[in-house]
Chain A
Amino acid sequence: MEPILQLRGINKSFGAVQALRNVDLEVYGGEVVGLVGDNGAGKSTLIKIIAGVYAPDSGEYIVDNRRVNVTRPQDATHLGIETVYQDLALCDNLDVVSNLFLGREDTISGLPFMNSTEMERRTIDVLRQLDVKIRSVHVPVSALSGGQRQSIAVAKTILRNARIVILDEPTAALGVAQTRQVLQLIKRLRDQGLGMVVISHNLADVFEVVDRVIVMRLGRRVASFDIKSTTTEQIVAAITGAEFSNGIDGQGASVGSTASVNGDEGADDGNHPAYQHESGKGSIQ
């Protein structure tokens, strides 16, 4: 099977700071990819490149095995790649239907009037498909819970026929029950064949829902784990860079079939004083 979305050799700098170095990423249909890393690891820059907010300095953006140019957010959405940012981009004063169709309202054939019955029917359809429970599609979204709001933001992407959905910290502001609800939603979307990319700081959530974890550190993709044969310690080690300085029995680097660690990691160390500092801290922990 071919990945829906592939990035190859992505580089991006902001002035003197190189935010991404030679990063690869691939997302298949029907899988959830976890993107983890410490603050400043380049996760946000990477998803903004996927979303078309930033254009990469170099590298290839490949969808369905074809090289494409994604330089604007609209380019990504046209390719079926949708991003849900942490702020959810909902209009609190509007109801659920209006939020789902914001900017692409159904109109009555050729007239500027909205076709509200059709929009409501499709809203109910998509919420049922995603098993999202709300008491009415006519309540303003400000009256919904955090989990419901997250679900509405995701449903919005589904209405636009998304094939890849990128979620930035979907559970960061949620309580236990709400988190569960959102994780269930992610699983359902995966089962419907979508490719999902989930950025999270919460490793418990990552283990709950993700199929594959990609670890970023200091602008590089440093490791990729199959979740079934990985421990939290391995991922934490990859995030902090600990496995190279004190090595947790070399596990993280040596699992081979389940984990691939970019080989050139050690070579560039000297260029990056921050890295030394970071890995030093890692070994203390």
Chain B
Amino acid sequence: MKTTVATPQADQAPSTAKGFNVGSIFRQDLGQIPVAIALILMALYFNATTNDLFLSARNLSNLTLQSCVIATIGLGSIMVLLLGEIDLSLAVVANLCGAVTCIMSVFHHFPWWAAILAGLAAGFGIGLINGLIVAFLRVPSFIVTLAASLGYQGLLLHILLPNTTLIITDPNLKGIAANYLPDYLGLGLPILGIALYAGYIILTRVRRLRQGLAVPPLWQTGVNLGVTIALVALVLWQFESYFGVPIMTMLVLAMIALFWVLMRFTTFGQHVYAIGGNAEASRRAGINVNVIRVLIFGLASMLAAAGGIFLSSRSADADVAVSPTLLLQAIAAAVIGGVSLFGGRGSVWAVVMGTLVIEGLENGLNLKSSGDDTKFMVEGAVLILAVIVDALLRRRSTAAGR
């Protein structure tokens, strides 16, 4: 904004300046630079200690496939965290809905797409129920979803009776995790995405200039676009030097992009952030807080269902045993990426960074043949670090300007 000449009384208080400089770097969409640096250092370390195995095209391709389940469930947990709530049932719901898809496909001979829809619908319905209890009965989401987690674990055991696993036979369902996109899609979709993004940047610039608003210098926009294109090209080059872009990876990235648009550009997304920031103020501003809460819980569980379908597709079966670390890793992916546990802060893209940190650690330590003992301790330490940073940032932002 245009700077007005400051009169002595104008308050350019030091607290304002401090909060702006340090805090805002972390708060912005691009505030993942510290995480990115940590990620690069980690990759270099693992690569050096595993004879360049870690950064090989094959391992990176595998890494993205391993990341898909956590990234998808993590995306769901971001939705809920942005509201200032938490959903502890996502991992169990993921397995349950994966099982629903498998059952529909194996026992009821649904075509693959109908089986997937059934799984997603089950997830959405479960989320709606959780959301209704949280929003209208005002029970803390923590306890509602904890109870739900227990109940749905029981339901999962029940629907797979008398077995504990169910093998998928449909080649299309298995193919989600096993197959790669043909080049015209594997390269075409990212190029389309980049084109849309560039078009959006240019259109915004033109509109702002027409309205007489400040625009960033042209070189900055250029650098921004250039870096984005370079990153995408690098990733595509890695994929192409192996088998191409995995279908599942592309699906996950498409979902993240879709939810980014939803959260960043629509009034719905804006209201989610508003509720996470100040639910009472949002209510007074005429936002239907409860409806949004219910919908977000529904969407989060639907994303968990998608994660569960990926999980089933990867292991080619449905299993009653829910990974004990899955839920924590999904929430950790969100928090490490900069999504606040206190609500209202963080970008949907956080899940990419967060998942790469978690799965990168897991993958790298596996390559080094470290045991679960080391893995758990390292992951626990990283998670604590991320939560501490979140708490410190929150304290800084509430201290500023008061």
Contact A148 B204 (CB under 8 A): no
Assess whether A135 is in contact with B1, with CB atoms less than 8 Å apart: yes
Binary CB contact string for chain A from 161 to 177 against chain B (1 if under 8 A, 0 otherwise): 00000000000000001
B9 touches A181 (CB 8 A): yes
A113, A121, A133: which contacts B213 (Cβ < 8 A)?
A121
Question: Which residue of the partner chain, among A105, A114, A137, A139, contacts B24 with CB atoms under 8 Å?
Answer: A139
Q: How far is the CA of A135 from the CA of B282 in the complex (A)?
A: 25
Which one of A20-28, A86-94, A228-236, A268-276 contacts B?
A86-94
For the complex, is B370 an interface residue (Cβ under 8 Å from A)?
Answer: no
Taking CB as reference atom, which chain B residue is nearest A180?
B9
Partner among A112, A124, A143, A147 whose Cβ is within 8 Å of the Cβ of B11:
A147
Give the chain A neighbours of B1 by CB distance below 8 A: 124, 127, 134-137
- Segment at the interface with A among B55-63, B120-128, B268-276: B268-276
Contacts of A124 in B (CB 8 A): 1-2, 213
- Indicate whether A178 sits within 8 Å of B19 (C-beta atoms), given known contacts A74-B286, A90-B278: no
- List B1-39 residues whose CB lies under 8 Å from chain A: 1-4, 6, 9-13, 15-16, 19-20, 23-24, 27
- Judge whether B325 is part of the interface by a CB distance below 8 angstroms: no
Chain B nearest CB from A97 CB (Å) reads 10
Do residues B9 and A143 form an inter-chain contact, with CB atoms below 8 A? Answer: no
Mark contacts of B291-308 with chain A using CB atoms, 8 A cut-off: 1 yes-contact digit, 0 otherwise: 000000000000000000
Evaluate contact between A113 and B266: CB separation under 8 angstroms: yes
Is the Cβ of B265 less than 8 Å from the Cβ of A142? no
Is B398 interfacial (CB 8 A cutoff)? yes
Q: Is the CB of A142 within 8 A of B287?
A: no
Closest residue of chain B to A181, judged by CB?
B9
B207 located at the interface, meaning its Cβ lies under 8 Å from any Cβ of chain A in the complex: yes
Contact B213 A117 (CB under 8 A): yes
Q: Is the CB of B284 within 8 A of A89?
A: yes
Q: Which residue of A lies closest to B264 (CB)?
A: A114
Contacts of B266 in A (CB 8 A): 112-114
* Shortest distance between the CB of B132 and any CB in chain A (Å): 23
Interface residue A73 (Cβ < 8 Å from any Cβ of B):
yes
Asked whether any CB of chain A lies closer than 8 Å to the CB of B163, the reply is no
Contacts of B344 in A (CB 8 A): 91-94
Q: Which residues of A contact B267 (CB under 8 A)?
A: 105, 107, 112, 114
- Chain A positions 118-175 with a Cβ under 8 Å from a chain B Cβ: 118, 120-121, 124, 127, 133-137, 139-149
Across the interface, which residues of B come within 8 angstroms of A68, CB to CB? Answer: none
- Contact digits for A78-107, partner B, Cβ 8 Å, 1 yes 0 no: 000000000101111110001000111101
* In contact, B286 and A104 (Cβ under 8 angstroms): yes
Q: Which of A118, A137, A145, A177 has the most CB of B within 10 A?
A: A145
- Cβ of B276 and Cβ of A93 under 8 Å apart? yes
Any chain A CB within 8 A of the CB of B369?
A: no
A-B contacts at CB below 8 angstroms, number: 129
Residue of A74, A107, A136 contacting most chain B CB atoms (<10 Å): A136
Q: When the two chains form their complex, are residues A143 and B273 in contact, meaning their CB atoms are under 8 A apart?
A: no
B400 and A143 within 8 A (CB): yes
Q: State A143–B12 Cα separation when bound (angstroms).
A: 11
**One of A74, A91, A120, A149 near B278 (C-beta < 8 A):** A91
With A92-B397, A98-B270, A133-B6 in contact, do A143 and B20 touch (Cβ < 8 Å)? yes
- Residue of B212, B280, B343 near A89 (CB, 8 A) is B280
Q: Say yes or no: A143 contacts B19, CB within 8 Å.
A: yes
Report the nearest B residue to A53, measured CB to CB: B284
| B174: Cβ under 8 A from any A Cβ | no
CB distance from B338 to the nearest CB of A (A): 13
Write out the residue numbers on chain A whose beta carbons fall within 8 Å of the beta carbon of B211. Answer: 117-118, 120-121
Nearest B residue (CB) for A142? B397
Of the residues B11, B24, B207, contact of A148 by C-beta under 8 Å: B11
B277 contacts which chain A residues (CB < 8 A)?
91-94
B3 to chain A, nearest CB (A): 7
Contact between A145 and B9, CB atoms less than 8 A apart: no
Tell yes or no: B285 within 8 A of A by CB: yes
| A74-B286, A92-B278, A124-B1 known; A149+B270 contact, CB < 8 A | no
Q: How far is the CA of A140 from the CA of B344 in the complex (A)?
A: 11
Q: Which residues of B contact A93 (CB under 8 A)?
A: 273, 276-277, 343-345, 397
B233 within 8 A of A: no
CA gap between A149 and B213 in the complex, in Å: 23
Contact check, A178 vs B11: say whether CB atoms are below 8 A apart: yes
Distance (whole angstroms) from the CB of A123 to the closest CB of chain B: 9
Contact string against B for A residues 47-91, beta-carbon threshold 8 Å, 1 for contact and 0 otherwise: 000000000000000000000000001100000000000010111
Interface set of A (CB-CB < 8 Å, partner B): 73-74, 87, 89-94, 98, 102-105, 107, 112-114, 117-118, 120-121, 124, 127, 133-137, 139-149, 177-178, 180-181
**Given A91-B277, A91-B281, A181-B9, 15 further pairs, Cβ under 8 A:** A91-B273, A91-B282, A92-B277, A94-B270, A104-B285, A114-B265, A135-B1, A136-B1, A141-B401, A142-B398, A143-B19, A143-B401, A146-B401, A147-B11, A177-B9
Instruction: Supply 13 A–B pairs (Cβ within 8 Å), ascending by A.
Output: A90-B281, A91-B274, A93-B345, A103-B286, A104-B285, A113-B265, A117-B204, A121-B213, A135-B1, A135-B12, A139-B20, A142-B397, A145-B16
- 6 nearest interchain CB pairs? A103-B285, A91-B277, A93-B277, A89-B281, A93-B344, A143-B19
